[in-house]
């Protein structure tokens, strides 16, 4: 085999998977999730990455990103990352193009690890063997039985000692139900598991502070996007007035976004999504930026792609074991991980350790 093969192409496709029940949070509702898959090939080896975004991401990979990386040395992922950033200057790179870049960048990292016969987290330089996860779902559309089945399943069934639910229903207009559901959740998970909440930017700052005061006895330890993640002054105001750690960052798609967020004193923990932020290449830079601001970083979604970067990030806190993505990744990939006990152990197989279940995917293909 060629010891220094060139990237041949980025193959891409999009798959739309219906949810298993209606889902919603404080500011959005959905009944399906679209996964855009990228497969990067070189020297007879294929790496895979993906993002959760519109099928248009797939077109962007084919039209802009694949030509930009073709012929580059597959071992030089940094060169490909730079080529993709330059090729999307006019797209522009922040926003949806970064989702497409993320899928491609992760596929290229996986390809390199497979070419070198190394597990991806070892190629990146692992600092830990286990990556802590928290169960994530608890949608505002769920009734009490659905909430109990899901949160109870994580905490009592799988021994995951952290669970996150959605609050801020209907843009923060259902405060009474939010409070009732948080009380239900604490009853379901018991006194020892950590209870996290995510308002997806649905509240005003004062409203978020008032609501946390009402549920103080529930010992909520993570309050995600109490206000819009673009409202850094509001995040800081909430952070100063509630006991829970305030977190945000899931929509960030470039390093400058995270600089603004990290230096604003607005957060207790920064979130980044390896399938949105620019892939593993950008994740590592964001994590370094956070570390310089004395912040830990938490992984948002796409758990089977994030786990490798997380294992190689010193200031990493935990990874989101998100209901929709866990379901889709288990459906589409062989080699998925077991979160029993509250942590994932990254695969010791070459690359990300996953294989595409082609037969299971075709019925969902949309592009």
Judged by the rule CB under 5 A, the positions of this chain that interact with Mg ion are: 198, 224, 250
CB of 108 or CB of 220, closer to Mg ion: 220
CB of 13 or CB of 247, closer to Mg ion: 247
Cα separation of 219 and 238, whole Å? Answer: 16
CB of 321 to Mg ion, least distance (A): 13
CB of 249 or CB of 350, closer to Mg ion: 249
CB of 309 to Mg ion, least distance (A): 18
CB of 255 to Mg ion, least distance (A): 20
CB of 198 or CB of 324, closer to Mg ion: 198
Question: Residue 204 CA to chain centroid, in angstroms?
Answer: 25
DSSP 212: H
Cα separation of 201 and 332, whole Å? Answer: 31
CB of 250 to Mg ion, least distance (A): 5
CB of 15 or CB of 223, closer to Mg ion: 223
Where b means 16+ CB within 10 Å and e means fewer, 194-210 reads: bbbbbbbbbbbbebbbe
Question: Residue 328 CA to chain centroid, in angstroms?
Answer: 14
Cα separation of 120 and 352, whole Å? Answer: 5
- Phi then psi dihedrals of residue 245, to 5 deg: -70, 135
CA-nearest of 263, 193, 288 to 272 is 288
CB of 277 to Mg ion, least distance (A): 14
CB of 51 to Mg ion, least distance (A): 16
Cα separation of 131 and 271, whole Å? Answer: 15
CB of 151 to Mg ion, least distance (A): 16
Cα separation of 77 and 167, whole Å? Answer: 39
Residues 6+ apart with CB under 8 A from 96: 53, 54, 56, 57, 60
CB of 300 or CB of 308, closer to Mg ion: 300
Cα separation of 110 and 104, whole Å? Answer: 10
Pair of tokens at residue 91: 């797209």
Cα separation of 113 and 160, whole Å? Answer: 30
CB of 225 or CB of 282, closer to Mg ion: 225
CB of 116 to Mg ion, least distance (A): 34
Q: β-strand 343-344 against 131-136: which pairing, if any?
A: antiparallel
CB of 249 or CB of 342, closer to Mg ion: 249
CB of 226 to Mg ion, least distance (A): 11
CB of 119 or CB of 303, closer to Mg ion: 303
Greatest alpha-carbon span in the chain: 64
Comparing every residue's Cβ against Mg ion, the nearest one is 198
Q: Report the interhelical angle of 77-87 vs 98-115 (nearest 10°).
A: 160
């Amino acid at each position: 085999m060629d010891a220094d093969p060139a990237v041949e192409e980025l193959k891409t496709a999009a798959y739309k998977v219906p949810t298993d029940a209606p889902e919603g949070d404080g500011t959005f509702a959905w009944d399906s999730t679209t996964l855009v898959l990228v497969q990067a090939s070189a020297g007879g080896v294929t790496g895979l990455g993906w993002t959760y975004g519109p099928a248009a991401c797939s077109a962007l990979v084919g039209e802009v990103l694949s030509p930009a990386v073709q012929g580059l040395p597959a071992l030089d992922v940094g060169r490909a990352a730079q080529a993709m950033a330059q090729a999307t200057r006019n797209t522009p790179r922040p926003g949806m193009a970064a989702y497409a870049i993320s899928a491609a960048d992760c596929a290229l990292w996986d390809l390199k690890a497979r070419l070198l016969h190394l597990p991806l987290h070892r190629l990146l330089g692992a600092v830990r063997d286990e990556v802590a996860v928290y169960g994530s779902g608890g949608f505002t559309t769920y009734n009490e039985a659905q909430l109990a089945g899901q949160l109870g399943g994580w905490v009592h069934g799988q021994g995951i000692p952290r669970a996150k639910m959605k609050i801020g229903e209907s843009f923060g207009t259902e405060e009474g139900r939010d409070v009732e559901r948080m009380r239900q959740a604490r009853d379901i998970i018991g006194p020892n598991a950590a209870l996290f909440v995510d308002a997806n930017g649905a509240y005003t700052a004062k409203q978020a502070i008032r609501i946390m005061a009402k549920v103080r006895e529930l010992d909520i330890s993570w309050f995600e996007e109490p206000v819009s993640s673009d409202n850094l002054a509001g995040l800081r105001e909430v952070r100063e007035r509630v006991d829970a750690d305030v977190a945000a960052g899931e929509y960030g798609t470039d390093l400058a976004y995270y600089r603004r967020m990290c230096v604003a004193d607005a957060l207790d923990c920064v979130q980044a999504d390896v399938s949105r932020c620019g892939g593993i290449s950008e994740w590592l830079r964001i994590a370094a930026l956070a570390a310089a601001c004395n912040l830990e970083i938490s992984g948002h979604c796409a758990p089977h792609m994030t786990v490798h970067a997380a294992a190689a990030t010193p200031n990493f806190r935990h990874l989101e074991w998100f209901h929709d993505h866990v379901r889709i990744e288990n459906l589409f990939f062989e080699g998925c991980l077991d979160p029993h006990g509250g942590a994932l152990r990254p695969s010791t197989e070459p690359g990300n350790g996953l294989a595409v279940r082609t037969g299971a995917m075709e019925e969902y293909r949309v592009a």
